[in-house]
């Protein structure tokens, strides 16, 4: 039984589309007619293999699961499997719960592979853009150990935690970004519209102006005459930076520079260490071998410099070193995390200790993020205040000099 996508006419004449399971296109058409639908198009949903790169057409037609969709699918599947429902029935229920045809098609393709006798991890591997290496390795370990339900529950918690972190970042950045855009817009409006009108009288009279007023006039003229050129130059700089960062060596230099920035560098290091420990905890707890878990956890780190340093951890562990000694030698991880790993290795509860360390680091990240975001709004207010004071002073000084002359 395979998955088929269809387009059909309803009794009211509107077009509907979706995904159904059946043995052939003829059977799908019969099912549609039984539902009072007139089939327009029925075609088999083709799975995307991992042994060859997907074409542009395949990528556009299949897309990928977004983070909220992946979290929801994982939570639904974990709940159904934990309740004792067979895996194929659980996948079918997940497909019915989803309203997006492309997502339904993807889930039903996975179900078809499972019905053919393949493992869930193998079926997920045909969709690497939706299910990354961490996801597939964790599912494979859960299937091998016979604990697929609990492993899926851990995966659901991991996906939801990652989604919550992204939402916190977006929420925290929304207000400062809006304030920054408004500030830039106000400054541009003042310099191009208000200031020229206010100071035009003084320049036409040819009177000697204070230095502050002359500077303001020059800045205003620059914005009026070269404002669009400045925007174009900034756009070109953004494009040039993106092209420059495509080179891996340049990205490493940039990531190395980021770590040296006083506040941002510490925050980025803490973020990557939190992702590393959270990923490693779920893999170790799911039964993935430590070396494989370290290789996967290393790949989830954003910063290439930190990722390269973590290669030392993998090398030392493969040579027989303990994990806590290898992490200490890498000079990447905070001392508390290293100590908790050492305690977990001694007690045989490495997965639990890593999970606790990840929770501690996430709380610290929340505090650091809150501290960073609390600084930006006052800084923007001070910035706007300085600009307004500068403009007011530049306008009032010539007026006060005229009054004194009178």
For residue range 230-262, list pLDDT tens digits in order: 889 999 999 999 999 888 889 889 988 988 888
pLDDT at 55 over 60: no
| Span 161-187, average pLDDT | 79
pLDDT at 165 over 50: yes
Mean pLDDT of the chain: 81
What pTM, to 2 d.p., does this model score? 0.65
pLDDT at 72 over 80: yes
Nearest to 8 by CA among 27, 33, 26: 33
pLDDT at 60: 35
pLDDT at 236: 95
Q: Work out the pLDDT band at 57, boundaries 50, 70, 90.
A: very low
| Span 50-61, average pLDDT | 38
Q: List all residues 6 or more positions away from 257 whose beta carbon is below 8 Å from its beta carbon.
A: none
Q: Are 350 and 341 in contact (CB under 8 A)?
A: yes
pLDDT at 237: 95
pLDDT tens string 273-319: 888 888 888 888 877 888 888 888 888 888 888 888 888 888 999 98
Q: Work out the pLDDT band at 342, boundaries 50, 70, 90.
A: very high
C-alpha distance across the termini of the chain, in Å? 97
pLDDT at 100: 84
Q: Which of 18-22, 64-68, 379-383 shows the lowest per-residue confidence on average (mean pLDDT)?
A: 18-22
């Amino acid at each position: 039984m395979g998955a088929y996508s269809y387009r059909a006419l309803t009794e009211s004449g509107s077009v509907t589309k979706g995904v159904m399971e059946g043995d052939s296109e003829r059977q799908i058409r019969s099912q549609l007619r039984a539902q009072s639908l007139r089939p327009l198009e029925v075609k088999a949903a083709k799975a995307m293999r991992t042994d060859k790169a997907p074409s542009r057409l395949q990528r556009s037609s299949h897309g990928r699961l977004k983070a909220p969709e992946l979290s929801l699918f994982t939570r639904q599947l974990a709940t159904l499997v934990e309740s004792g429902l067979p895996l194929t029935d659980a996948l079918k229920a997940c497909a019915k719960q989803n309203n997006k045809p492309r997502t339904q098609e993807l889930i039903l393709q996975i179900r078809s592979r499972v019905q053919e006798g393949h493992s869930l991890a193998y079926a997920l591997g045909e969709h690497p853009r939706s299910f990354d290496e961490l996801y597939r390795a964790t599912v494979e370990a859960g299937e091998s150990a016979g604990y697929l339900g609990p492993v899926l529950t851990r995966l659901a918690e991991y996906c939801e935690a990652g989604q919550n972190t992204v939402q916190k970042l977006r929420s925290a950045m929304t207000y400062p970004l809006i304030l920054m855009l408004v500030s830039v817009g106000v400054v541009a409006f003042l310099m191009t519209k208000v200031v020229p009108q206010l100071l035009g009288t003084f320049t036409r009279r040819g009177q000697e102006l204070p230095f502050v007023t002359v500077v303001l006039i020059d800045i205003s003229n620059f914005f009026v005459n070269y404002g669009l050129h400045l925007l174009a130059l900034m756009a070109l700089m953004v494009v040039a930076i993106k092209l420059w960062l495509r080179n891996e060596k340049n990205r490493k230099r940039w990531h190395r520079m980021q770590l040296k920035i006083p506040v941002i560098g510490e925050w980025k290091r803490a973020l990557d260490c939190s992702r590393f420990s959270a990923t490693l905890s779920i893999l170790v707890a799911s039964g993935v071998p430590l070396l494989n878990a370290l290789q996967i956890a290393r790949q989830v780190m954003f910063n290439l410099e930190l990722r390269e340093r973590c290669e030392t951890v993998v090398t030392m562990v493969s040579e027989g070193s303990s994990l806590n000694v290898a992490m200490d030698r890498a000079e990447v991880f905070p001392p508390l995390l290293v100590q908790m790993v050492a305690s977990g290795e001694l007690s045989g509860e490495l997965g639990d200790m890593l999970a606790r360390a990840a929770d501690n680091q996430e709380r610290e990240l929340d505090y650091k993020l809150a501290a960073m975001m609390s600084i930006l709004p006052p800084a923007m207010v001070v910035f706007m205040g300085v600009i307004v004071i500068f403009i007011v002073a530049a306008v009032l000084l010539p007026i006060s000099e005229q009054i004194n002359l009178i």
